Structure 1
Amino acid sequence: MTPCPLTTLSKTPSLWRRSSTTRRWTTSRCRERTRNPEVHGRPAMSNSHRTRIARTVEIFEAARRPLFTVLDGIAQEDFDWNPAPGSRGIGKMCRHMYRVDVWFLKRLGIEPVISHDAPGPVDEVAGRMRTIQKQILAEVEGCESDAALMAERTSLDGKTGARLGVDVVHIAQHYLYHLAQMTYLRRIRDRAWAAPLDAWEHATHVIGDIVLEQGR
């Protein structure tokens, strides 16, 4: 099995700044958030008592927010840099992610609010990401019930079978996949930059808690 790039990063001394004490604190802090959601600003409520809509929103928010931590303060040249010919750097990954978001929305029968795609300043590309992510959140939160969230949709080209809840969780996992790559690339370019491991670990705990709660 290929290790997660963030796991690899944590084992690479030259790309890792935090001490073992800090790592232990981070892990215990994330577990504290899991046991007591109010630590992370959420009302204390069992996953089993929340709607699928609420759980989907929580997963999506936890997965998308760390992306902007990677982009915060990044130099334009590092954003535009590609590690090898034909490969994606951070900027291209960001554009790839919102293009995939567009594809999913069309598959769900939803007209995306953005259509423009081109290289640009960090803030402009990040703005496109935020815009379509807000649209996705609005679609989920606008569902009248869990049944509506999980109902089959008809795509803009007439195909059926896609479901909003399933696809939004898929999008969230897609974000985390590229978050690991983006984190690794930014650390290569800027060894002084601290990776957003707290946010990444929080996202993995959110997903794990929700998945495991389903069987209770």
Structure 2
Amino acid sequence: MPRIDRTGQKVGSLTALTDTGSDQIKCRCDCGHVGLYPRNLFKPSYRGPRKCSYCLGSPCEVCGTIIPYHGRQRAATCSEKCRKERAARRERDRYEQIKHTDHFKQTRRSYLQRIKEAMERNPDYAEKIRERQRQAQRRWQAKIDRDQQLRAEHLAKKRRYYYIAMTDPERRARKMSATAVGIARSAPMIGSGCSAGGSKHRAKKNNETHDHRADSC
């Protein structure tokens, strides 16, 4: 029995473009996407969706791109880049929820203490950690240089933190103490360098004066 030519027929959102008599028919959806669909799609007994995979799809949680639906579990992201960004967002949200808890503060304090002890024991490991910090700082600086809005938010946050630090007596005392320690550490080196340099300069000048007097005699 010859098959019915379905060319031009429409069912749901799909319109048959070409029917070659095979098990699949080329159809166009109302949204504009073209694809191959089973011939059973045009039977009244067909219970499946009569739309393209893009109309049945869902938007990406990161960029909003429509992810086509192929009958499997719906994907949350459209690419590997969006998947990593989604994971980073979820991790940031989780951090915002737990960062003020006592358990997190204690765990972080003990972790930083272990890192500090390991850096004191192993100079190579310490240099590796410092290099990672420098790389992260360079990446962050490049990021805020590209994004002016992010840079403005960063500067506003720094000003707000500085204001809180200056208005809080305890934080102000800690900051002044740290500043005093830094000055005390640098002062001997500066003084010794200046005194040594001054002594050398005076000795050289005295020698030149002595040589000049000897030549004149």
Pairwise TM-score range, normalised by the shorter structure = under 0.3
Greater relative contact order (Cα 8 A, min sep 6): structure 1 or 2?
1
Choose 1 or 2 for highest CA Rg: 2
